Structure 1
Amino acid sequence: MILHSHNIGLIFSGKGDLRLMEEFVRSLGHCSRALDINDITLPDWKEISIIITDEESGWRHGETLVRIKKCSDVFTALLVAVRKKNAISRWLEFGFDDVLPMPFTKAELRARLTTFLRIREQSYELKERSDAMLKALVESSSDHIFMLDRDGTFVTSNNKMTSFFPDSYHNADNVVGRPLHEIYPPDLASALESMLKEVLISKKPVTREYAVAETAYATWHQYTLYPILLGAEVTAVGGICRDVTPLKEAQERAYSSLKEKDALLRELYHRTKNNMQVIIGMLYLQRQAVSDESVSNVFREVENKIAAMALVHQRLYQTKDLSRIDLKEYVGDLLSLLVRTYNKGIQSISTEVEGESILISIETAIPCGLLLNELISNAFKHAFRERQKGVIKIGILKLEKGIIEIIVTDDGAGFPEGFDLRRSCSSGLQTVVSLVEHQLQGTIEMSSGAGSRFRITFRDE
């Protein structure tokens, strides 16, 4: 049973047919409304329950009518009155809901209207129920949720605006129909208008955060504007405002804490390096008091080992990243240290570092520095005994799957034929193998001929 009178829209090309249809509709207790497809506006369609057109108007304006029908929030039936009964299937395929073969009686018209009006009323009830649930959901949110038209005027809003602007008199009732600049502080309104333009152009959501000082204390609001599309056209823009002040304050506390830890860690690296320098100084003074050259050399080697570790802490102290250092730069520093130690007198050994900048962790840098110290020191001491000149080269390369390769070569005397690195009596070379295989979990290969060549590979986790 139809509970109330409905507006029936009529689009007929012939005035006679239009008058006859108007009489039929009114006699059935409904209001008839002659529609001009060229003047009709979207709000007017919400008042129309059923649209009836004749064949000529249907073919002429069918696409527009079907599009308007699909955009309606509530079911709106689209009927066509035809004289050619064999064309019924074509109208249904076109998007019309039913076909009225002419001529028809009032009883036939009543039956059709009753069926489609009942569907519309059921659709309206479902929409009201859905709207009520959606409104309850939106109103229960702690965020300010709203919708703007393309000009930046409020179309709808929940009741949370006063939560963000306690001193404001604006609420859900009096913001609707008003533009942004009448609701928000000037700077914020200007920023939101820029966001609106960006959404209209890009057709994508935009999120920004703004500090608002209009309340009793400064707060941070996060605004998200997103397009509401009808086909490819942005018809409106939805908005969500969220109070992110607690998050900002937590971020600020975390940042302050991080800065404090950063300063403490730098101080720790600095003091560690200084303490190592003190130890190196004490070993140097002790070495100066020793007359036995072999004992003096032992002191020097220990000094260089400690200096190699101290260089790591110095690099960490100087870098922005307190957990990683540049391997190439570190090797350059280490080479400079060892050149000052061994390259004295008439002997002139040149050094070269080739390769790319690779960041490695402190856990990798210290054993890497110790083994390079051993290999380079060994080259300085033994590779060029019978020569005044020579070259020590270090190549650094990052291979696939994060593997780092270091190649240490010299053009010195090399090793005896059949020399086995792992069976060497040299404690220095044994230390190198142990550092590579156990601490770095890597591999080491040695070859000798016109000089010596060590290839070391490892992964820096």
Structure 2
Amino acid sequence: MSELQPNHSPTQPKLTELRMIWSPVVYEALFNEATDAIFLVDAQTLYTVDCNRRAVELYEAESKQALIAIQGHQLQRQQFTPVELEEIANTINQTGSWSQEIEYVTLKGKAFWGHLTAKQFAVEGRLINMVWITDITARKTAEVQIRASLQEKDLLLKEVHHRVKNNLHIISNLLDLQSDQITEERLLNVFNDSQNRIQAMALVHEQLYQAQDFGKVEFGDYIYRLINNLMFSYGDRMRSIHPVVEAEPTLINIETAIPCGLLINELVTNSFKHAFPEGESGEIHIQLHRDQRQKLHLRIWDDGIGLPPELEWQSSTSLGLKLVKILAKQLKAVISFDKSELGVGTSVRITFAELQHRSRF
């Protein structure tokens, strides 16, 4: 049995001896076989005191001696200022670490991007910053390519909105030219209504063309411009009617903006044409707000003569009210017609949520 005793666990002195033998070997393996560049930097002078093989490769140095005894920030494309170095030192002293993405230049002049992480520890009373630098050039290159692709996509979308807007204006102008040959008032009104519907859609694309976000329309501003277009379209006939717009600044996607814009166009046009006969004066109010649950509340009311008592708007054969029904269904909206708070005129309340984006690709 005594012959087997040497195979038992070593004594404490032998453990210490093993640690003394293995520590440099393990340190050397971990340090030099690491996939990241590692620098040991004097925290006071910021000079490199040691670095691993990966650092030599990454910075295209002949040997580690070429990297030792220089300050690491001298290898950056844009070196830190003394003020920035002081701020970094303060951060490391307070938190024990610091990290940032930095563009470097190798000793042979090749640029690359690295993610730097620095941690501080003490060795025999001397503060040392251990700095890891991971090569992130491939990721940065991919990000640049993605940004360029997104910019190209934005330009294409902008061009699409611009062309759609122009084409809709051309159609509107053709209708306008054609209407010059029409003498019958009923047909002239049909042409005018069609022009206004086209202009309502064109206005959405015009605002998208001018916007920073090509998928969103600032709908408060859209309503003001839409009403101005309608007032201009009807000209002197609407001089006695005063529109009042109370619309919060609200961003709405294109899926919602076009049917909502057409809906407002139909309802306001209906008030213009039918609420104030024989040139009577009055007001048309357009209100829009978004509640805390992100529901949109649109209300359009006037102080005109109101709807005929026998009218069932949902079964009406009027093209305008048919469109209102179709557009409300498209918006998945709850819609109601009643008298305004003044006891006269018509009030239309519409509640709906913003429609979800459909995949365009």
- Tell me, yes or no, whether TM beats 0.5: yes
In the other structure, the counterpart of 1:122 is: 15
Is the 2:75–2:105 contact (alpha carbons within 8 Å) kept by the matching residues of 1?
no
| Paired residues of 1:396 and 1:407 also in contact (CA < 8 A) | yes
Query: Is the contact between residue 404 and residue 458 of structure 1 (CA under 8 Å) also seen in structure 2?
Result: yes
Pairing of 1:4-403 with structure 2 (within 5 A) = 118-119=11-12, 121-122=14-15, 125=18, 132=25, 135-151=28-44, 152-154=46-48, 156-166=50-60, 168-171=61-64, 178=69, 180=71, 184=75, 188=79, 193-194=85-86, 195-212=88-105, 214-228=107-121, 236-345=128-237, 347-403=239-295
Distance 2:157 2:79 in 1: 41
Query: Is the 2:237–2:279 Cα contact (8 Å) retained in structure 1?
Result: no
Report the CA distance between 1:133 and its aligned residue.
5.1
2:344 corresponds to: 450
Conserved in 2, the CA contact under 8 Å of 1:180 and 1:193?
A: no
Count residues with an aligned counterpart: 339
Change (3 A) 1:189 1:305: closer
Cα deviation for residue 393 of structure 1 reads 1.5
Query: For 1:410, which of 275, 279, 302 is the aligned residue?
Result: 302
Q: 1:426 to 1:150 in 2, by over 3 A?
A: same
Partner SS for 2:194: helix
CA contact (8 A) 1:407 1:456 kept: yes
CA distance in 1, matches of 2:220, 2:242: 17
Question: For the structure 1 residues 182 and 206, does the alpha-carbon distance in structure 2 shift closer, same or farther, using more than 3 Å as the test?
Answer: closer
Give 1:459's aligned residue: 353
Unaligned runs of 5+ in 1: 1-116
**Map 1:420-439 → 2, pairs under 5 A:** 420-437=312-329, 439=330
Classify the secondary structure of the residue corresponding to 2:347: strand
Deviations along 1:347-405, one digit per CA (max 9) or x if unpaired, are 42111221321111111111111111100100100111145321111111111222111
Q: Equivalent residue of 2:332, what SS?
A: coil
Q: Which amino acid aligns with 2:353?
A: R
Q: Distance in 1 between matches of 2:279 and 2:77?
A: 81
Closer, same or farther in 2 for the Cα pair 1:456/1:189, shift >3 Å?
closer
1:282-303 CA deviation, whole Å, 9 max, x = no partner? 1111111111111111111111
Change (3 A) 1:215 1:383: farther
Q: Distance in 1 between matches of 2:304 and 2:258?
A: 27
The 2-side partners of 1:186 and 1:289 are apart by 71
Cα gap change, 1:140 to 1:409, in 2 (>3 Å):
farther
Q: What amino acid is aligned across from residue 241 of structure 1 in structure 2?
A: I
CA distance in 2 between counterparts of 1:341 and 1:390 reads 18
Q: Secondary structure at the match of 2:53?
A: coil
- The amino acid that maps onto 1:221 is G
* Higher RCO (Cα < 8 Å, 6 or more apart): 2
Flag the structure with larger Rg: 1
Shift of 1:308: 0.6
TM-score (norm. length: structure 2): 0.82
The change in CA–CA distance for 1:307 and 1:403 in structure 2 (over 3 A counts) is: same
Q: Distance in 2 between matches of 1:436 and 1:132?
A: 76
Distance 1:119 1:311, change over 3 A: same
Residue 241 of structure 1: SS of its match in structure 2? strand
Match of 1:20 in 2: none
Distance 1:276 1:184, change over 3 A: closer
Q: Per the alignment, do residues 181 and 252 of structure 1 end up closer, same or farther by CA in structure 2, a change over 3 Å counting?
A: closer
